[in-house]
């Protein structure tokens, strides 16, 4: 039994959400945006190959050495991540924006909720093993019952560097009112791998979080609708490819969990995971239902007509992302051990509903925006993925020094 590989790829947290509205928006040249967000993400459910909701981990059968079934350890994990995410955006030109995102895991918590289903009759006991019997026996073998994992406090995840370039308008785009942009990002290997000897643990790398790839390439196309010089509605699509690099890990030697995690004698000193890549597409609808009061403040140089071109007070959006998740490949000295893990990460898809609300105070003279964002992967059944739901609250400060 080993919980960590099953729990390694659970959360689709939230900081890939750009601090910019839409998927083609770029900042004016010389403008900075500082974005600070708190994110809470939880997961309890995985979707199987038939799109049926199941617990994150199947029951694990334990057998008497050379004998019958001792029983089945039931596992119903609850996983929580909390983040503080800092992002900085800079408009190099009106069409090119660069960004850096620094996610910090303030806490990750896993409660495995271990249970027990008794197995075969044991003649030495005169009955089947109870849960207490099993863990007493395991303790005699040097194996304690695992508790909850509470770790990664204020631990850096993989830093993200990215950029977005708004493409020049072609004639057909001008006629149809379309706007296009390409974007790319890369994750630096600054995250932390989980302790290989811990039974219940998770890390802070892009693979552990499974929210963004080690590298991504995006193409977005949008149709904004203007009213009196202000975008009051927008619809668009974003298509992207996410690459995950192969990763090599130390094989557990059973130093902390000798009964449940002594793998190295037959797996080898290390093993490698090729996680499989993402191919995804998103649709987005944005509406600005409330323009808000508009004042000729210092932000507009005292000119009302300039203030009237600032973003509306309230903007709400809804989106949907379909992501195909590729097959993972595990490589070690044990083909059976590899397959036991690969079959939990078969090709599948995750289907994410996104709801956002943004409040912009620029029209009232404050270079500040507040937002909340919610993402759900349970409303639309996925396949062979761990569903994660996340909620974010954040603020953006707009700065211009020249």
Please give the pLDDT value at position 200. Answer: 83
> In this structure, how many other beta carbons lie within 10 angstroms of the beta carbon of residue 328?
20
* Neighbour count for residue 158 (Cβ, 10 Å): 24
Per-residue pLDDT tens digits for 353-394: 999 999 999 999 999 999 999 999 999 999 999 899 999 999
Which CATH number goes with the domain that contains 371?
2.40.160.40
Span 75-79, average pLDDT: 89
What gap in Å lies between CA 136 and CA 127, rounded to an integer?
A: 15
Give Cβ neighbours of residue 37 (< 8 Å, ≥ 6 apart).
14, 15, 83, 84, 85, 87, 392, 393, 394, 395
Asked whether 392 and 354 are in contact (CB, 8 A), the reply is no
Domain count along the chain: 1
pLDDT (tens digit per residue) in 180-226: 999 999 999 999 999 999 888 889 998 888 778 999 999 999 999 98
Residue 8: φ, ψ to 5°: -70, -35
Pairing, β 160-166 against β 314-325: unpaired
Give pLDDT tens digits for 317-326: 999 999 999 9
- Whether residue 342 is predicted with pLDDT greater than 50 in this model: the reply is yes
Locus of tokens 């997961």 = 43
Taking the C-alpha atoms of residue 314 and residue 169, their distance in angstroms, rounded to an integer, is 28
- Residue 344 CB-density burial (10 A; 0-12 exposed, 13-18 middle, 19+ buried): middle
The tens digit of pLDDT for each residue in 277-300 reads 999 999 999 999 999 999 999 998
Whether residue 63 has pLDDT greater than 70: yes
pLDDT of residue 21: 58
> What is the pairing mode between strands 385-400 and 31-47?
antiparallel
In whole angstroms, give the CA distance from residue 243 to residue 400: 35
Q: How far apart are CA 81 and CA 79, in angstroms?
A: 7
- 303 pLDDT tier (thresholds 50, 70, 90): very high
What is the DSSP code string of 58-90? --EEEE-TTS-EEEEEEE--EEEEEEEEEEEEE
pLDDT at residue 3 in the model:
45
Tell me the C-alpha distance between 83 and 105, whole Å.
Answer: 5
- How far apart, in whole angstroms, are the C-alpha atoms of residue 290 and residue 16? 26
Structural domain containing residue 133: 4-400
Virtual CA dihedral for 11, 111, 374, 33, nearest 10 degrees? -70
In sequence order, which residues have a C-beta less than 8 Å from that of residue 190 and are 6 or more positions away?
A: 156, 157, 158, 159
Q: What percent of the chain has pLDDT over 90?
A: 68
H helix count then E strand count, the chain? 7, 23
> 229 falls in which pLDDT band (50, 70, 90)?
confident
Longest CA pairwise span in the chain (Å): 90
The whole-model pTM stands at 0.88
When computed from its CA atoms, the radius of gyration of the chain, rounded to whole angstroms, is: 25
Do residues 267 and 258 lie in contact, with contact meaning Cβ atoms separated by under 8 Å?
no
Rounded to 5 degrees, what are φ and ψ at 201?
-165, 165
As beta bridge partners, residue 26 has: none
């Amino acid at each position: 039994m080993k919980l960590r590989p099953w729990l390694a790829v659970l959360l689709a947290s939230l900081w890939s959400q750009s601090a910019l509205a839409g998927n083609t928006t770029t900042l004016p040249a010389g403008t900075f945006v500082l974005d600070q967000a708190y994110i809470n993400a939880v997961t309890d459910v995985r979707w199987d190959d038939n799109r049926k909701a199941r617990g994150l981990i199947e029951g694990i059968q334990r057998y008497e050495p050379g004998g019958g079934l001792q029983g089945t350890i039931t596992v119903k994990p609850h996983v929580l991540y909390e983040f503080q995410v800092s992002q900085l955006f800079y408009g190099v030109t009106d069409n090119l924006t660069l960004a850096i995102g620094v996610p910090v895991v303030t806490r990750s918590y896993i409660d495995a909720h271990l249970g027990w289903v008794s197995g075969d009759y044991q003649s030495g006991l005169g009955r089947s093993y109870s849960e207490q019997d099993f863990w007493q026996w395991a303790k005699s073998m040097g194996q304690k019952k695992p508790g909850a994992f509470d770790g990664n406090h204020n631990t850096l995840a993989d830093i993200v560097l990215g950029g977005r370039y708004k493409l020049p308008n072609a004639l057909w785009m001008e006629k149809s009112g379309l706007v296009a942009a390409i974007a790319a990002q890369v994750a630096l290997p600054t995250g932390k791998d989980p302790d290989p000897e811990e039974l219940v643990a998770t890390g802070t790398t892009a693979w552990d979080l499974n929210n963004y790839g080690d590298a991504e390439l995006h193409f977005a196309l949008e149709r904004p609708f203007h009213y009196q010089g202000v975008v009051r509605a927008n619809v668009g699509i974003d298509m992207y490819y996410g690459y995950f690099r192969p990763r090599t890990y130390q094989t557990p030697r059973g130093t902390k969990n000798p009964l449940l995690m002594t793998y190295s004698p037959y797996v080898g000193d290390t093993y490698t995971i090729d996680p499989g890549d993402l191919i995804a597409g998103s649709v987005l609808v944005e509406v600005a239902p409330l323009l808000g009061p508009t004042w000729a403040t210092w932000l507009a140089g005292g000119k009302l007509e300039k203030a009237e071109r600032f973003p509306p007070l309230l903007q709400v959006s809804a989106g949907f992302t379909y992501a195909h998740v590729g097959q993972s490949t595990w490589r070690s000295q044990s083909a059976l051990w590899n397959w036991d893990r690969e079959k939990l990460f078969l090709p599948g898809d995750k289907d994410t509903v996104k709801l956002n609300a943004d409040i912009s105070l620029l029209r009232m003279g404050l270079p500040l925006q507040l937002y909340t964002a919610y993402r759900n992967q349970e409303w639309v059944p996925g396949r062979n993925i761990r569903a994660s739901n996340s909620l974010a609250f954040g603020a953006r400060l707009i700065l211009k020094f020249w």
